[in-house]
A and B are shown apart, each in its own frame.
Chain A
């Protein structure tokens, strides 16, 4: 693989791993606070799954960079906000249950269109990881879809909360699909899919669900900012998540 391709794949893997890791962290914040014990366990499971998916993508990234697996700890615990490449959608605070379930739904649907394409990647490590992640996403999408349907079609209050969450999240969701440097070369090499048609698939799938629930996607302009751009919420999240590791960077654990 030439240097341009390597650098482009590096960016894509980092973005996907960061998405999964930041979502995992936000989901984990519900542990002990979910509306019912059953959902507490369910979301803790999902958080662990997303964390596991992040680990898979970081591991491929470590190989690509010819770094040992411990490089993942460096990336997760010792990287400042400006160097993260997750979408802003995933770093927002958890909000209420409707907000968390809608975000999970929008991201699950993103993975639902991306992963099948990645299982056809010419990069074997990506193909294998995508197949493994996809297996769990079948469950994730069913879980978040069930919640969006019940809250969206539930009471006036649950519907209102879903619409409020959608108003905030909809413009940001576009950032999941924004182009990254080197995309064309990756597509040409069959390593990473073209994100534009995937976004159309995503819009069709998500749009169907919103219509079923009577939820209105706001007309406000979609975010076009790059994945290098973050809100202040990421800084706060990292301060929390990295605090223990940074207390003693040399600790053996």
Chain B
């Protein structure tokens, strides 16, 4: 099963989609997310959501093509017709469900992915998108993703020191660590190592 991964880089930033992993269940998905997307700093928290639980819509495709975007640069199409998948998306009965809302508000190449906006109450995913448009009118949103809040599995706050902190010490994972192997550059590498380890403050954004 494919899980979408949402990574938070600092406590004051939203969880943003960074890609996906294949995993048999949410616990393994979280571990894979950590290994694949948390190898290099920074991360303070991760969420995983089964792809089948995500309902996605795109808006203003013309505006995007003005920027020279092609279809395949869009986030992958999610369950456009969730009912047809027999997914749990619609199996929450008649009482409103809390949906997590993610959106893409920039067309900048570096911001291809959706970020968490907040939650809405709705009966269906489609209604959740409508509710999200009202609740989060600005800035202009190009892509909406919604999923039942209950479908999100999260890293535990107390696990963070083991889950994410050690990556900060592993300078050998940084490209700059491998400039080359001459003595002169070895000195520069030592400087980099010292710099990286002195930057290591808990509050760094």
Contacts and interface: CB of A to CB of B under 8 A. Distances in A.
Contacts of A253: 181
Interface in B73-108: none
Nearest to B34: A139
Given A41-B39, A48-B170, A253-B181, A138 B159 contact: yes
B35, B163, B165, B181: residue with the most chain A Cβ atoms closer than 10 Å: B35
Nearest to A138: B162
B161 interface: yes
B31 A142 contact: yes
A150 B24 contact: yes
Contacts of A146: 27-28, 31
B32 interface: yes
A62 to B, nearest CB: 19
B22 interface: yes
Given A38-B21, A150-B24, A253-B181, A136 B35 contact: no
B162 A41 contact: no
Contact of B36 (A38, A49, A142): A38
Nearest to B25: A150
B11 interface: no
A136 B21 CA distance: 22
A76 B160 CA distance: 33
Interface residues of B, number: 21
Contacts of B159: 138-139
B32 to A, nearest CB: 4
Nearest to A43: B35
A226 interface: no
A175 B181 CA distance: 40
B23 interface: yes
A71 interface: no
Interface in A32-86: 36, 38-39, 41-42, 45, 48-49, 52
Contacts, number: 45
Given A38-B23, A42-B31, A253-B181, A135 B39 contact: no
Contact of B165 (A36, A135, A143): A135
Contacts of A42: 31-32, 35
Interface string B139-180: 000000000000000000001011101100010100000000
Contacts of B32: 38-39, 41-42
Nearest to A253: B181
A135 B166 contact: yes
A135 to B, nearest CB: 5
Contacts of B36: 38, 41
Interface string B11-33: 00000000001111001100110
A175 to B, nearest CB: 28
B168 to A, nearest CB: 11
Given A38-B23, A41-B39, A48-B170, A135 B161 contact: yes
Contacts of B165: 135
Given A36-B22, A139-B162, A41 B27 contact: no
A49, A138, A139: residue with the most chain B Cβ atoms closer than 10 Å: A139
Interface of A: 36, 38-39, 41-42, 45, 48-49, 52, 135-139, 142-143, 146, 150, 253
Given A38-B23, A138-B161, 7 more contacts: A38-B21, A48-B170, A48-B172, A52-B170, A135-B161, A139-B159, A253-B181
26 contacts: A36-B22, A38-B21, A38-B32, A38-B35, A39-B32, A41-B32, A41-B36, A42-B35, A45-B35, A48-B170, A49-B166, A135-B161, A135-B162, A136-B162, A136-B166, A138-B159, A138-B161, A138-B162, A139-B34, A139-B159, A139-B162, A146-B27, A146-B28, A146-B31, A150-B28, A253-B181
